[in-house]
Amino acid sequence: MYSGSTRQRAEGFSLIELMIATSIFLLGGVSVIALLVYALAANYRAKVEFAAVHLSEQKIEELKSLPFQDTRLAIPGCPVDANGELDFAGSPADTHSATRLVILQASRNSTVQFETRWNVSLVADKKVITVATQASGLSAQVRPMNLKIVRAQ
Residue 7 lies in a domain: no
Q: Which comes out higher in pLDDT, residue 10 or 135?
A: 135
Residue-level pLDDT at 140: 56
Given a cut of 60, whether residue 6 has pLDDT beyond it is no
Q: How many domains does the chain have?
A: 1
Residue 8 lies in a domain: no
Q: Per-residue pLDDT tens for 65-75?
A: 989 888 888 88
Given a cut of 60, whether residue 3 has pLDDT beyond it is no
Q: Which comes out higher in pLDDT, residue 147 or 142?
A: 147
Residue 86 lies in a domain: yes
Q: DSSP 3-state assignment of 73?
A: helix
Residue 45 lies in a domain: yes
Q: DSSP 3-state assignment of 24?
A: helix
Given a cut of 90, whether residue 10 has pLDDT beyond it is no
Residue 100 lies in a domain: yes
Distance, in Å, from the CA atom of 147 to the CA atom of 60, rounded to the nearest integer, reads 8
Burial of 96 by CB count in 10 Å (0-12 exposed, 13-18 middle, 19+ buried)?
A: buried
Residue-level pLDDT at 82: 83
Q: Per-residue pLDDT tens for 74-121?
A: 888 888 888 888 888 888 888 888 889 888 877 787 888 999 999 998
Residue 110 lies in a domain: yes
Residue 5 lies in a domain: no
What is the residue range of 99's domain?
A: 15-152
Given a cut of 60, whether residue 2 has pLDDT beyond it is no
CB contact burial 73-82 (16+ within 10 A = b; e otherwise): beeebbebee
